[in-house]
A and B are shown apart, each in its own frame.
Chain A
Amino acid sequence: METEFTPLASTFGGLLIGAASVLLMWARGNVLGATGILTGFLSPQSSGDWSWRATILAGMMCGPLVYYFITGGLPAIEVPVSRASMIIGGFVVGIGVTFGSGCTSGHGVCGLARFSPRSIVATICFMAGTAVMVFLVRHVVGG
């Protein structure tokens, strides 16, 4: 499935993601990592710890609704893979981000911005893993 190259929208979206990350560090001193926020939400250390996580998750889910009010449509979600890939992929992502202590937002945006060596290594590893899998699926198995 071909997709249109969207440098302006993608850069602008990226700027907002970055702004949110800076805002959370300024306000609470936390890394805006989806894995960390979700893990802490599922097994909170205290009620105060849970409430900010629930609040930021609620805010996140309202994002697409604001997008709807501005553009009149929901963000495009085109899925070029099978249901089975989605189920296995989700499970593998859950295992990987737990052992790797973070995902694209935590390591790729927040960690890289702090020039954390751990995050630099993690980002290289997951980008490489993704590229290998896409190559295997599209050009070895599928090709």
Chain B
Amino acid sequence: MHLIVIFTTGLIFGLGISISGMANPAKVLNFFDVAGIWDPSLGFVMGGALLVTIPGYRLVFKRTHPVFSEVFSLPGTQLIDRKLVLGSATFGLGWGLAGFCPGAALPVLSTGNQDVLIFMISLVAGLLVARWAISHQARRHETGPQGQ
């Protein structure tokens, strides 16, 4: 039952991405091209999503716990640091180059589109390199003072 609900959730998300135009790099990039051939559609996607999530989350958080889990798994940190700011800005630069973001590209992998496939392979490569760099840095941080 749990996994049927989760599958349906993914299905609704993937259908939403397909209908919204988020998986179309031409549309996404035109949203950011205010100085050129502007297409405001992407703003309506985010607006539509928030229209549901803002009241929807409020209702859900009235529960003591989720239906199939003991606790809500919300990000623990409140920290606004250089990593968050520079990481997000870097993501933006990449999004502006390719026109795909992760959530839009994942569902349309099933269309067999070559550009999506190439984007996803590069994305996973970048993800793994960044994770390696973060864990490498953390390890150096741990062993560093003792080594010196």
Q: Does B associate with A?
A: yes
A contact residues vs B (CB 8 Å cutoff): 1-7, 9-35, 38-39, 42-43, 51-52, 55-67, 74-81, 83, 85-114, 116-118, 121-123, 125-139
Could you say which residues of chain B place their CB within 8 Å of the CB of A76?
A: 21, 24
Asked whether B90 lies within 8 Å of A51 as measured between CB atoms, the reply is no
Q: Are A79 and B48 in contact (CB under 8 A)?
A: no
- Contact A18 to B87, CB < 8 A, known contacts A28-B6, A91-B122, A92-B94: no
Q: Which residue of B lies closest to A75 (CB)?
A: B18
Instruction: Contact check, A80 vs B21: say whether CB atoms are below 8 A apart.
Output: no
* CB-CB nearest in chain A for B115: A79
B: interface residue count bin: 35 or more
Can you list 19 A-B contacts with CB-CB less than 8 angstroms, sorted by A residue number? A14-B49, A29-B65, A39-B131, A42-B128, A58-B10, A60-B10, A60-B11, A78-B26, A79-B99, A80-B29, A93-B102, A100-B89, A103-B91, A110-B53, A111-B75, A126-B91, A129-B88, A133-B32, A133-B93
A99-B87 in contact (CB<8A)? yes
State the B residues within 8 Å of A (CB). 2-3, 5-27, 29-30, 32-37, 39-42, 44-54, 56-57, 59-60, 63, 65-69, 71-75, 77-80, 83-104, 106-111, 113, 115-116, 118-131, 134
Would you list the 3 A-B pairs with minimal beta carbon distance, nearest first?
Answer: A63-B14, A129-B92, A59-B10
- Does A97 contact B97, Cβ atoms closer than 8 Å? no
Min CB–CB distance A1 → chain B (angstroms): 5
| A contact residues around B85 at 8 Å (CB) | 121-122, 125
A81 to B32, CA, bound (A): 14
